Chain A
Amino acid sequence: MSYVLKAIPALFKQSVAGMLQYRGEIILWAVWGIVYPAVAIAMWSSAAKNSITGLDIRGYGPDEFAAYFLLTMIVGHFCTAWDVYEMGYQIKSGNMSAKLMRPLLPVWGALTDNTAFKILTMVVLAPIWVMVAWLTQPKFDTTWSHLTLGLLAMVLASTLNFIWGYTLATVAFWNTRVDALGEVWFGLSLFVGGRLAPLEILPWPLQWAAKVLPFKWVIWFPSTALIGKLDTAEMVKGILIQLIWLVVGIVLFRYAWRAGVKRYAAFGV
């Protein structure tokens, strides 16, 4: 493990240097990530304002929708993972062979790329988040404990989504056209992860599905924690559930990776 820790700063530096070569592209990808939440804010705030009863929709008024979707915008950015779209190409092009020759699992390089992207794009995204907040006037009930535990939940959510995304990507060792699986994964996270609507206002079958899948703990949980909608006990319980999903993800990754590499046919070399 110590050699991994020594190698990570060097990997991170190269990830940053690589990202800086493609400034335009990474900015566009980052901005693309805020499109869904922006649409959702407009839609739900408008629905809440025009509510016939004049009441909130299941506890969410326009300013609370604004807060929720501003947070899904931020959490969504920190929880993005794209390896499922990349792995098939890496394998088909032969790049995976070069990575496999190194005495370090390729997942570490993917992790530093992922982290570099999230940090570098903050330069563009942070002002956009501030602007969205200024335009939509969100309402927060956040205390210090919400902020602390919510940030911890966001870091866990990011790691959790990365490892699950990378595990899913290992399917590419069996079938390199794994992009479609990535789309299904993203689609599920829209519905049962809380990207399109807070889970409280979804019909019960989707709420039930959300309970047994990991997506809720990636988007909905850190977002509601950070806007102050959860009490401490709920947050601690949520963090424990995140940890369970994380451990399951790591175990699955290790198993899938070994099986995948064994199956690897080293195309393109």
Chain B
Amino acid sequence: MCGLGFQPQHRLGIAGFPGRMNAMVQIEVKKLTRTFRVPEREGGLLAAMKSFIRRRYKEVRAVCDVDVTIAEGEVVGFLGPNGAGKTTTLKMLSGLLHPTSGSATVLGHVPWDREPEYLRRISMVMGQRSQLHWDLPAMDSFILHLAVYGVDKDQGRSTLDELINLLDISGVLKKQVRTLSLGERMKCELCVSLLHRPAVLFLDEPTLGVDVTMQARIRQFIAEYNRRYNATVILTSHYMADVTALCKRVIVIDRGKVLYDGPLADLSQRVAPFKVITIDLQRDMDGYDFSSVGTVVASDGRKLTIRVSKDQAASATSRVLADLPVLDLTIQDPPIEDVISQVFSHGPESTS
């Protein structure tokens, strides 16, 4: 048995998604589990020699009894810390990995059977892992992609023009892919992945490493693609902004287990209804009672991070500005990791 003993609070059709209740179920996952067998040994030369003679292995359960149902056209965010099992789940749903046990159907296919008809209807964007030929201009990869996916010539041409236009990449098509900036490359990566108009799109960290402006444009684009083609999108990201901008529904996963599956608004409202205020001071204010403003999360000389409840954020900020010699002040949503760690520390029961 694996698991932490929690039961997800929300399920499709049970809570929160009346609009989707009649939509066609496109992804159905039951008790999906994946175990990896990894070699392990102590550090040092002696341990290396021992391991040469006799190797020790450890079973790591990356995904454990995951049950998920996703309807056509939904945009779902997979959230969780590093190593939670998000990417492993996506890899199984895209057919890259075979599960240890459990079942899944996506668009009526078993993903890991890897039927060409299935692979033609999905796409997976894996951060820096490229579908583009590194040494050639992106346009060459686009043309190859259309041929490999057997896209009709006219449809291919019009989708290509549309994507080039939407992503604003006409200026970079003739450059060798390896000479592109990270943001330009990511946009080309999205373009190539969508040329065959996939009905289901798996996005693993699509905005990783790109600047804030580019992140926003990529988000806009994904939302537009979802709207235009009613495509189902499953997204993993470390950026709260990606998730808030795109996903009405989130699935929180940790140590391979689904901890929460439901509306995003409910998750942050229930689990982390606070803002994080970061203050840079001109001089030390040792005598000041910061705890009267909120919970001091971090204090490093003249730089403080304070957590305050959402409804008190405005008054707390005015008070800080009035009382203290502030050099700089920022108010942010809690980092996604914090929201999730709240779920982990309290368990989903506390969220209901």
The residues of A with any CB-CB pair to B shorter than 8 Å are 3, 6-7, 9-11, 13-14, 17-18, 21-22, 94-95, 97-98, 100-104, 261-262, 264-266, 268-269
Chain B window 77-99, contacts with chain A (Cβ cutoff 8 Å), 1 for yes, 0 for no:
00000000001000100111110
Measured between C-beta atoms, what is the minimum distance from B84 to chain A in Å? 15
The residues of B with any CB-CB pair to A shorter than 8 Å are 36, 87, 91, 94-98, 112, 114, 116-120, 123-124, 126-127, 129-131, 133, 135-136, 140-141, 143-144, 146-150, 204
In the complex, what distance in Å separates the CA atom of A264 from the CA atom of B92? 11
Contacts of A94 in B (CB 8 A): 126, 129
Measured between C-beta atoms, what is the minimum distance from B96 to chain A in Å? 5
Q: Given A103-B120, A269-B91, verify A97-B144 contact (CB < 8 Å).
A: no
In the complex, what distance in Å separates the CA atom of A104 from the CA atom of B97? 17
A10 touches B136 (CB 8 A): no
Q: Given A18-B135, A95-B129, verify A102-B119 contact (CB < 8 Å).
A: yes
Residue on A nearest B34 in the bound complex, by CB: A265
Measured between C-beta atoms, what is the minimum distance from A103 to chain B in Å? 4
Q: Given A7-B148, A10-B147, A266-B91, verify A103-B119 contact (CB < 8 Å).
A: yes
A266 touches B97 (CB 8 A): yes
B149 touches A262 (CB 8 A): no
Q: Given A97-B96, A269-B87, verify A11-B144 contact (CB < 8 Å).
A: yes
B150 touches A268 (CB 8 A): no
B129 touches A97 (CB 8 A): yes
In the complex, what distance in Å separates the CA atom of A74 from the CA atom of B94? 43
Residue on A nearest B119 in the bound complex, by CB: A103
Residue on A nearest B112 in the bound complex, by CB: A262
Contacts of B140 in A (CB 8 A): 14, 17
B136 touches A14 (CB 8 A): yes
Interface centre among A13, A22, A104 (most CB of B within 10 A): A104
Contact of A101 among B94, B127, B141 (CB under 8 A): B94
Measured between C-beta atoms, what is the minimum distance from A2 to chain B in Å? 9
Contacts of B136 in A (CB 8 A): 14, 17-18, 21
Residue on B nearest A108 in the bound complex, by CB: B148
Interface centre among A21, A94, A264, A269 (most CB of B within 10 A): A269
Q: Given A265-B97, A269-B91, verify A103-B129 contact (CB < 8 Å).
A: no
Contacts of A104 in B (CB 8 A): 116, 148
Contact of A10 among B87, B114, B124, B148 (CB under 8 A): B148
A102 touches B94 (CB 8 A): no
In the complex, what distance in Å separates the CA atom of A264 from the CA atom of B97? 7
Measured between C-beta atoms, what is the minimum distance from A258 to chain B in Å? 9
B148 touches A103 (CB 8 A): yes
Contacts of A101 in B (CB 8 A): 94-96, 119, 123-124, 131
In the complex, what distance in Å separates the CA atom of A104 from the CA atom of B133? 16
Sample (11) of A-B pairs whose CB atoms are under 8 Å apart: A7-B147, A14-B133, A18-B135, A21-B135, A22-B135, A97-B129, A100-B114, A101-B94, A101-B119, A101-B131, A269-B91
